[in-house]
Amino acid sequence: MRLHGKSVLVTGAARGLGRATALACAAEGADLTLLDICADLPGVPYPLGSPGQLEHTAALCREAGAAVLTTVADIRDLRAVREAVPRAEDRFGRIDVAVNNPGIAAPSGKPVHEIGEEEWSLMIDVDLSGAWRVIREVGKAMSARRTGSIVNVASTAGLVGYRHFAGYVAAKHAVVGLTKAAALDYAPTKVRVNAVCPGSVRDDAQAEGRMLAEIARALDVPVHEHEKTFVEAQPMNALIEPEDVAAAVVFLASDESRQITGSVLTVDGGFSIR
């Protein structure tokens, strides 16, 4: 029960890594605010999380004993984030942990000179600026209480380059930079900011993830072959499971990591060390 008595905000919680993280936090005793846009975005060529998926995440967390607040909000909208954070604080008294998880993998699959300005802006707005907006809104109260943990879910794309994914790579590299800068800003008030960089995460049926399949689609890799293709690039010969990433987030959220800030924890089976 490493998160017993803590209030955790998870964004992008409807499915995928957001759901896996929420379930792991619930199992460790946390109460949860689950936030998701619960709508599709023009320009993203695949469905995003739905209201039903967000409620399913909430139901699973309640089964694990957590008190849960669900919130539909678009992290591209500062006003929406500014309204969502006080709702969580009103319900649970405070936010002890904020997990910035939302991310889109597309529009991608093209060289830099073919990326449209709207496509570029969309990727940066969701994958980078969304994290900044949440940090902006939770950071002041955490600093005032002189305690808190912020965990940003980046990617191995924040550490290395990927062909035909310039927007995603740029955004995730920037998330790592934001993590380090924010960690220095908040260190005097004992608020910690860290990042997790997952590798190729399997699209688990329980989590309803589809990120790996969408990356494969952008690379023109046949869907029925994509797991084998990604495994071949893994030094440990296995895809990352959503639970592996969630466990890393729980560690950084918990008091076990009380002296860790500004760190980047890779969960990639050794992919980025080559």
Catalytic residues: 168
Q: What are phi and psi of 35, to 5 degrees?
A: -120, 140
DSSP SS3 for 121: helix
How big is the chain, counted in residues? 274
Tokens of 107: 């529009």
Query: Is the preceding peptide bond at 45 cis, omega within 30 degrees of 0?
Result: no
Instruction: Please give the sequence-ordered ranges of beta strands (E in DSSP) within the chain, or none if there are none.
Output: 7-11, 31-36, 68-72, 97-100, 148-153, 191-198, 264-267
The amino acid occupying position 123 is: M
Q: Are 3 and 25 in contact (CB under 8 A)?
A: yes
Sign, Cα dihedral of 13, 15, 17, 22: positive
Q: How far apart are CA 42 and CA 39, in angstroms?
A: 10
- Any bridge partners for residue 70, and if so which? 34
